[in-house]
């Protein structure tokens, strides 16, 4: 098994840089926000963070490609390889621009189609989560204050805490009825949204987090953290990994039932 310790250490360095930039702009009175062609917002903090991360990767990982939300794909400057860094400079930009502290920088390293390193840094929450294949999953303010994390052992949907982003996407995809059904059957449901629900799955605080539509940069960093914590991460078809454009992350024990309910056209009783 390949060791990704050096790459994970670099991800922390990248996150340190990102945190210093984003926190300096968080709740800034002169924060500049524009609408992208898809009408989602982008702030000057998003672009500054991604530029800084790309600059460091260009110096330290010139053989790796980079994909970022704001500036797209950049091929490796030296050689042709299978490694690619995937960056979301600020996941939760709408929260960021409104002064809500639930946002994070997402940093992933992929080998081919597989995320092998993932780091999520939420400086306004004072928390960071990270994992690498074969290294386990951890959370804390920094590596010197790290705690191993693990998904929960809850095995019944009626005992589960269920998490999602919002209901609009499920309505647009024609899956609102099964979403409402699963929400009625679970012990508790909350729309924590964005990266945060997935990290709560990895920590064992909730049992499932689902989203119907995502881009690769939204999800690549989350996969190693959930799976190294003992959970499962697939798209709505049940395919593992981040490439399916949707996400179902669970503690593993409830994964099959959650998938079945979300893809069912009918409503079942528990």
The candidate with the shortest Cα–Cα distance to 132, out of 229, 230, 8, 223, is 8
Q: How far is CA 52 from CA 89, 153, 218, in A?
A: 10, 40, 19
The answer to whether 159 and 184 have CB atoms below 8 angstroms apart is no
Chain Cα centroid distance, residue 105: 9
The answer to whether 70 and 36 have CB atoms below 8 angstroms apart is no
Cα 257 from Cα 190, distance rounded (Å)? 19
Residue 72 in tokens: 């797209």
Cα 175 from Cα 267, distance rounded (Å)? 11
DSSP character at residue 248: E
- For 40, residues 6+ apart whose C-beta sits below 8 A from its C-beta are 93
Residues making up the annotated binding site for Mg(2+) are: 69, 88, 90-91, 218
SS3 202: helix
Cα 113 from Cα 242, distance rounded (Å)? 8
Residues making up the annotated binding site are: 69, 88, 90-91, 218
Instruction: Phi first, then psi: give them for residue 210, nearest 5 degrees.
Output: -135, 145
Cα 79 from Cα 59, distance rounded (Å)? 15
């Amino acid at each position: 098994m390949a060791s990704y310790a050096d790459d994970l250490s670099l991800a922390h360095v990248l996150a340190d840089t990102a945190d210093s930039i984003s926190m300096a702009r968080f709740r800034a009175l002169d924060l500049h926000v524009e609408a992208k062609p898809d009408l989602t917002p982008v702030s000057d903090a998003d672009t500054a963070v991604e530029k800084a991360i790309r600059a460091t990767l260009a110096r330290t990982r010139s053989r790796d490609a980079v994909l970022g939300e704001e500036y797209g794909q950049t091929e490796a400057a030296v050689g042709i390889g299978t490694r690619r860094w995937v960056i979301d400079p600020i996941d939760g930009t709408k929260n960021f621009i409104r002064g809500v502290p639930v946002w994070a920088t997402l940093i992933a390293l992929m080998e081919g189609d597989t995320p092998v390193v993932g780091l999520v840094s939420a400086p306004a929450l004072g928390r960071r989560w990270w994992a690498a294949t074969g290294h386990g999953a951890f959370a804390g303010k920094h590596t010197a204050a790290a705690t191993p994390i693990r998904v929960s052992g809850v095995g019944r949907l009626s005992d589960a805490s269920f998490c999602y982003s919002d209901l609009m996407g499920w309505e647009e995809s024609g899956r609102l009825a099964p979403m409402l059904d699963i929400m009625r059957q679970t012990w508790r449901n909350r729309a924590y949204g964005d990266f945060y629900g997935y990290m709560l799955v990895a920590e064992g605080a909730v049992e499932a987090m689902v989203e119907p539509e995502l881009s690769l940069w939204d999800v690549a960093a989350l996969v190693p953290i959930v799976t190294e914590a003992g959970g499962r991460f697939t798209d709505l078809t049940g395919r593992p990994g981040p490439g399916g454009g949707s996400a179902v992350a669970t503690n593993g024990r409830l994964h099959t039932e959650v998938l079945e309910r979300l893809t069912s056209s009918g409503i079942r009783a528990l």
